[in-house]
A and B are shown apart, each in its own frame.
Chain A
Amino acid sequence: MIPTFGASFRRGLRAFAAFLVLFVFLCPVLWMLITAIKPPGEWLNSPPIFWPSNIDLGNFTEALGRWGGFKGLVDSLAVASGATLLSLVVGVFAAYSLGRFRTGGETLSFSILSVLFMPPVAVAVPMYLFWRAFGLLDSFTALILQYTVFNVPFICWVLKSFFEDIDPTMEESALVNGATRWRAFVDIAVPLARPAIVAVALLSFIFSWNEFFFAVILTRARVTTLPVILPTLMEGHDIRWGSIAAIATIAALPVIALTFALQRYLVRGLSFGAIR
């Protein structure tokens, strides 16, 4: 069918509207990026300066060095990777158990899901005392385990329906041919659920990389993730807007890059097996 003028006009209008929406939504992010490359005199101006007179990368060296951005980057990377790996192992096990064997029935399934909705503030005091009792305050272990607790229910929820949708006959014939249940799970079911596993891995990483509340409560000086550094710099009088913007940029870019790299898994993995 040859598109009529009206149809291609509507398509163009649609594309224009989409661009407009994207631009409006990206404005605060663009403003941060612009501030990050502004020289000190141009951070605060009335009227505001929309493009710096010269691009100044000094903010980034100041952010990485003086404000502990480098340590923040390393710590964030350690916490987020550790929590993602642990969450994936624990979560994929549990999701397969729920999806394939209906372990514990509806009750267990709902209990696991309700942990996802547990307001962090509701368990903050006991968890503080819990980690203190083990001498694990301000440690990678505590933060990684704490984030895993919140990642696992989400992973279970998304992957459970994926495993339910996978036809069990392939696993069953592998069992008949002498494979162990473990091999049938690892070699057959897990590869089939790969798009969803990549999607939940990405979201677990993003959650752990960004998490703020428990990081504030459970850590001090030994472990400092990027999100915790930011608000401490926004206090007082001489606020270094440019280098805060640089730290914020350093905190934002890795998750943005990762999301774009894994973009095609996101839509496929998050359809929740809801519509077949």
Chain B
Amino acid sequence: MHAVVRRKPAPALSGARRRFAWWLMAPTLAMFAANAVFPLLYALDVSVRNYQLLIPIPAQFVGLANYARVLSDPLFWSSVEVTLWFIAAVVFLQLPAALGLALLFNGLPRWAGIAVTVLLVPTIIAPSVVGFQWAQIYNYQFGPLNYLLGLAGLGHPVWTASPSLALPSLLAIDFWEWTPFLVLLLFAGLSALPPDVLEAARVDGSNWSQVFWRIMLPLLRPVIGIALLLRVLMSFKTFDIIYILTAGGPGAATENLAYYTYIQGFRYFNLGYASALAIIQLVVVAVLAKALIGLTRRPGLASVS
């Protein structure tokens, strides 16, 4: 197949070429077979059985019953809602803020790279360290945040323990932790823009907003696409800060899909049900990935996939 598609003539080498290419790919394929394909098939198999670790009867085939139960489970839908909040915050808050910050830092003199790296500190420290830092900040009685609010006469919210504020509190942490990462990607994209194009536009007499909307944004589109792709799909994995700060509570106010799956699997040991949840997530993530990759494509140039 490869030999047929290739336009450049390299017929004598094509067999060796192909063999070399697959040898380089072999370790990856072996690893993915064991650590991605196997667990997926296993989860698929468990998801059609009533497999509960705590009940010592053999698991029976139940068809799609687990999936049907998922769809009528109010806790599932509330976890979907929480997951959607995390995604919405990425698209409507983190991305615009990151674009603004990337433009701000891009206009700095020589130390712009250093400034972006300093900003990146929240992203590179461990999420469990992040959880600890914010447990201190949000501390009801002794935290610096409530102290400052008290000085301003704005009251003493309980933050992560409040049904209405727990989710916004976590979204704030997510914003703090991951907006810098988007800034890095967009800043790298801005640095790679051809300076002569922007210069020519300015000489032409275009004002700043014309340059931004007509030239910068279209040129940045692939980078913005990659940034969105990475962060939207990563937000499905949000787990650590929930585990450390709220454990999904109060009630199920901060239980996202990943955390709900974890609870079903590792606290209640409903492995069949948890596997159905996992498979549904995987399908949604794969479909979203395929759709978002379209955003990163440019005519005539290589795409990410």
Contact = CB atoms under 8 A, between A and B. Distances in A.
B31 A90 contact: yes
A173 interface: no
Interface string A97-141: 110111110101111111111111111111101100000000000
Which of A122, A164, A181 has the most chain B CB atoms closer than 10 A to its own CB? A122
Interface stretch (B60-68, B69-77, B104-112, B159-167): B104-112
B142 interface: yes
A227 B127 contact: yes
B121 interface: yes
B96 to A, nearest CB: 14
Contact of A32 (B34, B129, B220): B129
B304 A113 contact: yes
A256 B27 CA distance: 31
Contact of B240 (A48, A97, A213, A256): A213
A25 B38 CA distance: 41
Interface string A243-262: 01100100110011001100
At the interface, is chain B mostly helix, strand, loop or mixed?
Answer: helix
A130 B34 contact: yes
A271 interface: yes
B25 A161 contact: no
A242 to B, nearest CB: 11
At the interface, is chain A mostly helix, strand, loop or mixed?
Answer: helix
A60 interface: no
Contact of B28 (A26, A93, A146, A271): A93
Contacts of B121: 25-26, 29, 256
Contacts of B240: 212-213
Contacts of B257: 119
Contacts of A109: 305
Contacts of A90: 27-28, 31
Interface stretch (B14-22, B84-92, B199-207): B14-22
Nearest to A103: B21
Interface of B: 2, 13, 16-18, 20-22, 24-25, 27-28, 31-32, 34-36, 38-40, 42-43, 46, 101, 104-105, 107-109, 113-122, 124-137, 139, 141-144, 147, 176, 180, 184-185, 187-189, 191-194, 219-220, 222-223, 226, 233-234, 236-237, 239-240, 243-244, 257-259, 261-262, 265-266, 271, 274-275, 278-279, 281-282, 285-286, 289-290, 293, 296, 301-302, 304-305
Give the top 10 A-B pairs by smallest Cβ distance, nearest first. Answer: A126-B39, A122-B278, A101-B21, A210-B126, A123-B39, A126-B42, A97-B24, A94-B28, A93-B24, A117-B233
